[in-house]
Structures are given as C-alpha cells and as structure tokens.
Structure 1
Amino acid sequence: MPPSKLPPTIRQQRLGAELRRLREHAQLSATQAARLHGATQSRISSIEGGGYPVSADRVRTLARLYGCSDHRLVDALANMTGGRTRGWWEEYREILPAEFLDVAELEHHALAMRVACAIHMPGLLQTPEHARAVFKDVVPPYDPPEVEHLLSFRIKRQAVIYGEQPTPLSTVIHEAALRIGFGGRKVARAQLEHLLDMSERDHIDVRVIPFGTGSYPSSGSGIIYFEAEVSQLDTVQLDTDTFSGYVGSQPQLVRYRAVLDRLEETALTSAKSRDLMHNIAQSM
C-alpha cells in the first residue's frame, strides 16, 4: 500500500484533532480556515482527520491563523509532523494489525510512560517465554507463525527501555498478575526474577498492589499512559474486555492521571513490592 493511501496512525490523528480544536477555539469553520490559509475546505478537513501529511511550517501557519499563543504547544505539534514515522515497526505493516504498530510508535515518541496491569505483566517487561505463553493462551488461538510474529514484535518494542537514553517507565501491577503463572512454574519464576532485575534500574519503578488491599481504582482496566512534550498531547491506551482503544481529551487525561495516582498510592512501596515479588518467586 503506498504511503499516501495508508490509514493515519493514532499519532497523526491526534495532530489533526489538536489542529481542529485550535480552529474551533478560534470560532472558525473549516471553510473560513481554508479561505484564510489559501487552501480548500476538503484539504483542511483531511489535515484534521490525519489523512494528509502536514509540515511543521504549515502547523505553525495554522496555529498563527487560529491565534494560538502557546508556543510550547505549537512547538510540540510541529514536532509531530513529517508524515508517518518510518520506524522499525513498519516492517510489520502487512503482518500485524495497525493498532499494534500504533503502540510501538507511541512508545517510541513518549517522554515517559505509566502502566497499570491487573492480570498481565506489562508488555515492556515480559520475558520471551512469558510472552509466548500469553499469546498461546488467546482465544481464538493464534496460528504458530502469528505467535512468532507477535513475539518478535513485542521484544523489539522493549528497546525503548534500554540504551543510553531509556524511556522512564512507572508500573503498578496487581498481585494476581504475579501469581497466575503463565507457562508453568519455570517460566513464571524466570518472569518474576526478570521483573525484579528490571525494577532495580533507575528509570523503572515497579509497584505491586497486594491481595487484601480492598481497592483497585481502575476496575481491572489495562492502562498505558504516554507522556508527550506537553501534557495536552498525552495519550492513554485502554484495554478491557469490552473496549480497546485510545483517549486523549483533556477530561479523560485528567481522569486517568488521577486513576494512576490512586493506584500508586494504593500499591506497596517499590522496596516492599520487590520483597513481595521475591517471596512469590521463591515459592514457585
């Protein structure tokens, strides 16, 4: 599929949505904005839908027409331009669903991430053996080649937490996820030992909500919070039995920041979380 015909990524859609928000805040219709910009109404609509590549200069021009004086926001929006990022994930374009690639692109650009898990280990902290066991447990089952593609994709995603400038990662995991034991005792113990090792890194914080706490503010939802250059451009991925997708409106961002804050307050400290993980691993 030619690049121009590819559906917009979540990141491109977000850029377009923010430009639309600026236009609406200026109380301009798409037709009025097009006239001021010397473009067609359909071009403005296509930009706002994320379907038309937009340059940094065009973003700055539109922001100026819309009277936006928030220079940090305009700079951050300009940095989101340039069309589809040609990252490593593009090699999976014809292999995996687009939503998998969107996660990798968001992780690549995030300045920091916050994750909450009730049942599964955070994908960025899974061992290959644990991840394979999880993929094999999906209903309906994946074919063996699909499992291997998903596995290699997940492991490549983990590059963001390694290297000279790794992305800071804060996670809250319920004790249930530590005890399910995907793949059997040997795999489960190796996964816990890996989690312990990773939690010792300066840029990774792992906290556990133990059984008996009596509270889990997110009601079991899997949450990944991607922090951007400015908080207005943060993005949240939600994963539940009934919904899997992205949210980014200001009320939603405020809500999920509060949810994650509550989860971190409910969880054990990092040190006590490591003690619990160590005890569970030793019991396997």
Structure 2
Amino acid sequence: MPPRTTPTVRQLRLGSELRKLRERAGMTAAEAAAQLGAERAKISNIETGRVGVSAARVRALARAYHCSDEALVKALVGMTGERKRHLWWEEHRGFVPHGLLDLAEFEHHAVTLRTVQTATLPGLLQTVDHARALFQQAAPPLPPHEVEHRISHRIKRQVVLFRDDPLEYTAIIHEAALRMQFGGRAATRAQLDHILTMSEHDHITVLAVPFEAGAYPAPGQTFGYAAGPVPQLDTVQLDEANGPVFIDAEAQLETYRSVLDRMATLALKPEESRDFIREIARSL
C-alpha cells in the first residue's frame, strides 16, 4: 500500500497512540519491527499515519508493547477500518480546505463535545445566513462558489446533532459572541432564535457567559474538547487563522479541561442562559 500524502487527523491519532505505547514500553522502532518481522520503515509509516494498519497488527503491537489496557486496545482496533469507509465529508475533498474535513471527522467520532466560543458562534449551531455572512468576510475574499461550498460543509457538520445517537454537546458562549451582528439585525435575531430552539434538545446544553462575569481564562480563544471512547483518546481542537489545530498531549488536555471548568463556573445556568439570549434577541 503506497504511503498517504495527507493522513487525516484520525489516522494521525491512531499512529500517535501506537507510538506512545511503544515509547512507554521502552522499545525503538527497529525493535518493534523485529517483533513483527517487518521493516523499521513500516513502523515509522504506521506511527505517522502514512500507511494503514490492520486490527490484527494493532493487537500484535499492543502485545509486543505489553499493553494490558483492553479498553484502549479495543478503541484503537475500532479506528483501523475507517480508512475504507466513505463518509459524507469526502464529498467535499478538493472543494474545502483539508482542515475542515478533519474537523468534521473530529466531531463525527467524538463521544461528547464541549466548546468555548468567545468571539464567534458555534459552527454546529449556525444558520445558513450567519455562516454566509462569516464566509463573506474571509480574508482574502473567497469566490462565491467557495463560499457556498463552505456553507454546505458547515451545515452538514450539524448532522451529529440529529443522528440516531446524537452527540452530547455543550456550548459555552460569551456575550461578545452573542452580540456580534453578522448579516445584520434580522439575521442575528434569527440566529439567536435558532440557538434557543436547539438548546431545548436534551443532548444540547448552551451556557452564556455575560460581560459582568468579568475576566475569564484563555481570553479570545475558541476551542472544542472531544471526549474519546477512553480518556487517552480525548482531543482538543483549536481554531486558528490557518485552520483547525488538534492537540492530545495530556498536559495540554488538562489545561483545556481546567479552562472549560472555569468557564462553566462563570456561565449562567441553562435556563438563565436561555433567558439571557432571549433578552439579547429582543434588543435587536
């Protein structure tokens, strides 16, 4: 199988976790390859997500690395067959930036997702008009057909909230983001009404952080924290100017868990948040 030129974030994560297991076992890539009767380059390519790895090989590597965490091994095995599946975001490959495909994959596989929004509203809760107003302000400007491709991709991402096993989703939104008028007053009012409607679903929680809550951690940062099937597979996604960035080092995960917990203490309760958002909508 030829190496992949652009591994997805999911493929990179599988390889990264196998590398972590190898390093904890105190083994070099050459020693791991010898255990499997493979070339050293094979291990390196697996760990960088450049080639696929079978379920049987994942189990063999776990045994070689003396990994006794059956839940983790099962989760890693579950990631091996996905490269053969054609999921909806593949239809957008070549039409939107690669990072947006990774973002859809990130959300699709999350067990739960918590986001912090301080300047923009959550993509999973945006209306078409709001998304269009955002993309029309891109710098450099996007051609109209690229704007439409990105809108389509953004709205399709929201399927995770409507599938048979909907994603458990919590959005912590600062008042600054709620008051941004993308698309004008009418579009903003409709957007806020949509957030209120979505917040009535049992699996969706919206928490508003008012200005009067004062200082908050990581000001200006927008990120999502996705829980994996086991804690070792938790991932944080950061919104950056050049696209989403994904991190999974334990120290970084702990930092963002702390930020989420702090933001939650500053936020209004769910029903208070709904009342707060209604007041902002009425003021428009």
Offset at residue 71 of structure 1 (A):
0.5
Following the alignment from structure 1 to structure 2, what is the Cα–Cα distance between the partners of residues 255 and 267?
19
> Is the contact between residue 100 and residue 244 of structure 2 (CA under 8 Å) also seen in structure 1?
no
- Number of aligned residue pairs: give it: 283
C-alpha displacement of 1:4: 5.3
Residue equivalent to 2:34: 35
State yes or no: 1:116 paired with 2:113: no
* Structure 1 residue identity aligned to 2:80: T
The reply on whether 1:141 has 2:178 as its aligned counterpart is: no
Inter-CA distance 229–174: structure 2 relative to 1 (3 Å threshold): same
Greater mean alpha carbon deviation, residues 134-143 or residues 120-129: 134-143
In the alignment, structure 1 segments of 5+ residues that lack a partner are none
For 1:193 and 1:260, the matched residues in 2 are separated by 25
Structure-2 change in CA distance of 1:3 and 1:186 (3 Å): farther
Matched residue, 2:69: 70
In the alignment, which residue of structure 1 is the partner of 2:128? 128
Q: CA deviation at 1:240?
A: 4.2
Distance in 1 (CA, whole Å) between partners of 2:5 and 2:195 is 37
Partners in 2 of 1:269 and 1:142 — Cα distance? 39
Q: TM-score, normalization: structure 2?
A: 0.96
What SS does structure 2 have at the residue aligned with 1:82? helix
The answer on whether the counterparts of 2:4 and 2:51 sit within 8 Å (CA) in structure 1 is: no
1:126 deviates by 0.2
Equivalent residues of 2:224, 2:236 under 8 A apart: yes
Name the CA shift for 1:53/1:83 in 2 (closer, same or farther; >3 Å).
Answer: farther
Instruction: Give the ranges of 4+ consecutive aligned residues of structure 1 lying more than 6 Å apart after TM superposition.
Output: none
Q: Counterpart of 2:168?
A: 168
Report the alpha carbon displacement of residue 225 of structure 1 after superposing the two structures with TM.
Answer: 1.0
Matches of 1:41 and 1:87, distance apart in 2 = 32
Do 1:115 and 1:223's aligned partners in 2 also have CA atoms closer than 8 Å?
A: yes
The question of whether the paired residues in 2 share the 8 Å contact of 1:225 and 1:235 is answered with yes
SS in 2 for 1:212: helix
Superimposed CA distance per residue, residues 232-271 of structure 1 (whole angstroms, 9 cap, x where no aligned partner): 1111111245884110011111111111111111111111
Superposed CA offset, 1:21-79 (max 9, x none): 11111111100110111110000000000111011111011001000000001001111
Tell me the equivalent position of 1:204. 204
Q: 5+ residue gaps in structure 2? A: none
C-alpha separation between the residues in 2 aligned to 1:166 and 1:242? 29
- 1: CA distance between counterparts of 2:261 and 2:190? 29
Partner of 1:44: 43
